[in-house]
Structure 1
Amino acid sequence: MSAHSVAADQADISIGSTPCDIGNVPTLLESISSFRGRNDLGTNRDDRLDLLEQARKLVHALETPRELMLKHIGAETASFFSIALGIDVGLFKALVLHQGKPKKVKEIAGIIGFDVDGLSRILRHLAAMGHIENTGPDEYAPNNFSKALTIPVIADGYLFYRETCIPSMLHLHSWLKTKAYQTPTTVIDNPFTFGQRTSMTMFEFMAIEPYRMEHFNHHMGGYRLGRPSWFEPSVYPAQERLLALRDSSNSDAAVLVDIGGNKGHDLERFLSYFPSVAEGENKGKFILQDTAPVLAEAPSDLISLIEKQPHDFFMPQPVQGARAYYLHHILHDWPDAKCEVIVKQIRGSMKKGYSKLLINEHVIPAVGANWEATYLDLYMMVQFGSRERTEEEWKVLLEEKCGMRIVGIWNPGNGVEAVIECEI
């Protein structure tokens, strides 16, 4: 298509300064008003997120394309990098000193060793974006968001993305141009390797720089924060589907094998939620598998019932006939061909009619996808040449390519990963 034809088909310039969906504002206001009087929005996650989504739609309806453009390209990018810089220099820790009382810019600058002029301009923008409070001339105080930036599981997400993920997205357009705009599908020739100028995969790359892995692990903690776990009734009926039908007569049989389970967070939460499974004569085995270096960093006070077992999930699964083999955020790191190897290695150890494969990942719906799944899908594409999958893509991978049978998909929505239950 020529540049002339594109220009001829472009929208009238007036659309740039017209609210994006002003006609829908009354409906959105009515929907939002239905939440008036609710006092449980701080504890009812689904209702809070429903209200938040209506509020986002209202803001979008009122904003003009010009305002959205400036917010995207300037305000939000300036916020992101200013927040990451603030974490580097201890800005948010300085703000919360002395019970978070308001502080002048000069005082804050003295605490963190920063130029007063530059810091004043950074703080002004962060306040304009609502990330801190402007309490007076050249005076600022923290709010709940900026207080949270003193917690590593929140703060280190900014550093992880700045150092390890943003370069991939920054160079996406250049990489795609060299590939005739074909989607990346491999782990070692993609926007990540291009942007970082490396031939290593992301995890290999992080392994040589301990601070990157520390940022990643903290970020994973923040990613999980406040979300229901896979075994809770609102997500997956683990008691009925998994525990009630286990073979408790064989104490040597594994109940749950967490493959690629990092430091054991999921297993610990599972055992804390179902304490009776770890008690009595019929208690079963719970096995945490990951690479030896990762397991070496698992907490020393890990629940004693959890057995640590070094394992490469591309190799044959050593635990035979477990009640369930569990994969959390493993397959989304790999293209289909690699996933096929991982799943088939597990399949070879499953007991037909008894063992289950439980996959805890996003299942993107055909309509109305959640932003927590769609942003992650794009970062999986640029970091690994992989993807978050739709229901149809899961069926193709698991049933057609791996010879499994999907028994059911429990998809709670609101950005929470689904549980896909499979059998041989």
Structure 2
Amino acid sequence: MKEDFLHYLWKFKKFSFLNVFTTQGEKLEILNSGWHNTENSGPDFFNAKIKIGNQLWAGNVEIHINSSHWYAHQHEQDAAYDNVILHVVWEHDVEVFRSDKSEIATLQLKDYCNLSLLKNYENLLNSTQKWINCEKDFFAFKDFQLHNWLEKLYIQRLETKSILIFEKLKETDNDWEAVLFQLLLKNFGLNKNGAAFLELAQSIPFSIIRKLESTLQLEALVMGQANLLIENKEDVYYQQLKKEYQYLKHKFSLTPICQNSIHFFRLRPSNFPTIRLSQLMQLYKENQHLFSQVKDVKSLEEFYTIFKVNTSDYWQTHYSFGKESKKLAKNTTKSFINLLVINTLLPLQFAYQKYIGKENVDDLFTVLKELKAEENSIIKKFNNLRKDTAKTALDSQALLQLKSFYCDKNKCLQCELGVSLLQSTRS
């Protein structure tokens, strides 16, 4: 038994609430269950309205497995709980009092809970060695039910990503171009160098990017800040970059990131940091006002047009400094741009829409549904549980949200799929 089950019972009145009594024997009428406090400290439900006997009460509700947990959590010493009007418990094992010694009315839910609901809860949550709690039932969810929940989950994922974006916006004095630069640089680093590339982006005020116009200056700036220019190499272009970086470092009082934080090991040459940095700098050489271009893009093809970019000339014959290779144009691929769209561009558009008060997720959905589902172990397992669960990137993004924020945390009672299983008539 977990408290979230009791929260569920109370919030949605999933018990025989029309004929209930307090443990003190008084008739209890629940007029309003209150507002569920899921984030802040304090009582579990605020602003509830109940009637005990002939007395109308307005205040907060606290929920515990056992009444004695009131004292285990020292609520009797906390003034924040003085306005609790009802203590809802599964097992009433002790009388409970406020800090002023007045007794709090108690409702013992085990006397009124539907046994089939309790059994479904135990079947769902008490399973062991399962990838997700509902895996043996996952195939049976109705298509409409599943995909309606997936769309909600994707919006939740965008909301979560918006928190980071708004933090970045505050750090950059509401400069959306600077925020885009940081997020793009992080995603150009992919999983291997993402954290280091974000650190790199934060080490470079975007005002400097705005001032630089040549490929040499832009590449010198990012590669120098990334500690890729600290060796002594005879390569001519390397020496030019190194000299230019020393000038920029002094002029703008720059401090490079931690040495050895950029990695090449086990990366495909096309994903080498040198290649990705050159591609991004070419993008900014051609588009100083990139955010102004992408904030209103409504099609995948438009994103492809903007973000298809090559490296500078040097990197068409190199993957690393001083080692010449066969000449090859190293354009950003559609698959790479797809990652940018999913992880950076659409979340940024969503955050910007929230910022200006004109949210429109339909356009975001349209772009995502043009993209195939991502391929990773989590998506593969969902597809094994239910064929073609993830067909589009919207599906795969939503499923990642489901796994991370619900399944892994056993939040089945906050999941529409889990709740539907609780209410089912299965044995």
Fold shared per TM-score above 0.5: no
Q: Which has the higher contact order (CA 8 A, sep 6+)?
A: 2
TM-score interval w.r.t. the shorter chain?
under 0.3
